[in-house]
Amino acid sequence: MRLPQLHQIILPLVTVLIVALSGAAYAIFMPGMGGDPIAQSQAAAVQGAHYVGSQACQSCHKDEYARWSKTAMANIVQDPKTHPNAIIPDLAHADPMVKFGKDDVAFTYGSIWKQRYFHKVGDDYFVFPVQWDVLNKKWSRYHVPDEGGDWWAKFYPDPTGDNMGRPTGPLCDGCHSVDYNIETKQPKEWNVGCEMCHGAGSAHAARPTKLNILNPARQDYVHANDTCIQCHSQGQPLKNPINGKYYDWAVGYHAGLNLKDFWKLEEHKLGEQNFFHYADGTAHKNRMQGNDFVQSVMYTRGVTCFSCHDPHGSDNQAMLKKPAAEVCNSCHVPGGANGPMEASIEAHTHHPAGSVASQCISCHMPKIEPEIPGVNVAAHTFHFITPGDTELLKVPNACNGCHKDKDTGWAKAQLASWKTRSPWRVAQ
């Protein structure tokens, strides 16, 4: 028993020391991989409370609420009747494939990469079979094939292609709301509100203390990351079907519980590419940041999603706490223990300082995961995919992602000329 006890004592101290030395000023509280003991009390408190809605948080947490209210998570679904500017394209002059008007839209879904449109029939919502590509400003079809795509499609056959066999309740709404009730088909609150991450807040709203609301930053790294992984992952509930329906979100899970008791990640057989994974296990589609991240060295070292991202919102891309390069450099400095081992960033990347190619994310987070046709998002394994990986496993690599006029042979030769790189690593 001595070693575990010693580990529990030393690890938090080492973590705080490393953060202090690395200059990560924003990491005010880092209890270490084991978490803070009060997290268990917090988790128990929110399980005994009820949901009160994000508005109840605003009076005490003005800054966090103001920033959060502007985020995409706070505005995933919007009612055009109460948010007149929610619909991005001009439906009055839309593509002929668009067969609906503004008054037909009950909710918009999304605003960053794509936007889809829900309409209500009875007590269910359904998605119109078109979507707006926000970046390229164009319409495209939206329909998941009955076979060869998402696992749930065969349980909701839709031969006509109008999505009317696929209600959003079991397939979407649990991740786009707080405390979605599968019996009433109603949430406590639409969008990712405060209590999605901090747990039910009635006790805290009545008598605010740090012991009666969950702070994921005080949890151990597994439970802390589960807060995000519950929705930023592809998987299935352990008990599907539930009441005769198949769900594509972690039914029954709430902040403070164990996600593994409700949710399993999509399985992958190494060497095989499928709808969800490249052959090396990297995600093959969006909403799989969690599937990627749990494979990473950073996850095993206790890094959390909010070590880099600010879930309350920021002015930086992807709600990062700082611009991307600064986030990475908070822990990874030239010559530091976490690498890179070279004397400068440009010596590590072999590209000019300040260039796009010299940014950490360009090589360690290549945009290879399809969001919609023609638009990819970043991988989150942080693994450097080599040109050799591309040849062997057909996984896109960052080198040829930029140098599109070159082949993998050229890229391998370039890497082989970098004398500070292991020839065994880059030759893979």
For the chain, give every domain's residue range. 1-30
Closest listed residue to residue 154, CA positions, set 144, 139, 141: 144
Q: pLDDT tens digits for 104-120?
A: 999 999 999 999 999 99
| Model confidence band, residue 18 (pLDDT cutoffs 50, 70, 90) | very low
Closest listed residue to residue 126, CA positions, set 190, 71, 171, 72: 171
Look at residue 15 and tell me whether its pLDDT is greater than 60.
no
Phi and psi at residue 34, to the nearest 5°: -80, -15
pLDDT at 428: 63
| Model confidence band, residue 426 (pLDDT cutoffs 50, 70, 90) | confident
pLDDT at 239: 95
| Model confidence band, residue 32 (pLDDT cutoffs 50, 70, 90) | low
Under DSSP, the state recorded for 245 is B
| Model confidence band, residue 3 (pLDDT cutoffs 50, 70, 90) | very low
The whole-number average pLDDT for the span 25-46 is 75
The whole-number average pLDDT for the span 37-65 is 97
Provide the 3-class DSSP secondary structure of residue 125.
strand
| Model confidence band, residue 427 (pLDDT cutoffs 50, 70, 90) | low
pLDDT at 128: 98
Q: pLDDT tens digits for 222-273?
A: 999 999 999 999 999 999 999 999 999 999 999 999 999 999 999 999 999 9
Look at residue 90 and tell me whether its pLDDT is greater than 50.
yes
| pLDDT above 90 as % of the chain | 89
Look at residue 127 and tell me whether its pLDDT is greater than 70.
yes
Q: pLDDT tens digits for 365-419?
A: 999 999 999 999 999 999 999 999 999 999 999 999 999 999 999 999 999 999 8
| pLDDT above 70 as % of the chain | 92
pLDDT at 6: 38
Look at residue 1 and tell me whether its pLDDT is greater than 70.
no
Closest listed residue to residue 378, CA positions, set 113, 75, 111, 76: 113
Residue 83, Ramachandran bin (φ over 0: left; ψ between -120 and 50: alpha; else beta) = beta
d(CA 427, CA 379): 21
pLDDT at 24: 39
Q: In Å, how far are 104, 132, 178, 191, 313 from 183, measured between CA atoms?
A: 25, 31, 15, 19, 32
d(CA 140, CA 325): 34
Sign of the alpha-carbon dihedral angle for 64, 67, 70, 72? negative
Look at residue 141 and tell me whether its pLDDT is greater than 60.
yes
pLDDT at 25: 35
Greater pLDDT, 296 or 423: 296
pLDDT at 425: 80
DSSP 214-237: --GGGS-HHHHHHHHHTTSS-EEE
Q: pLDDT tens digits for 309-326?
A: 999 999 999 999 999 999
d(CA 75, CA 269): 36
Q: Contact, 311 vs 73, CB < 8 A?
A: yes
Q: pLDDT tens digits for 201-234?
A: 999 999 999 999 999 999 999 999 999 999 999 9
Q: pLDDT tens digits for 164-213?
A: 999 999 999 999 999 999 999 999 999 999 999 999 999 999 999 999 99
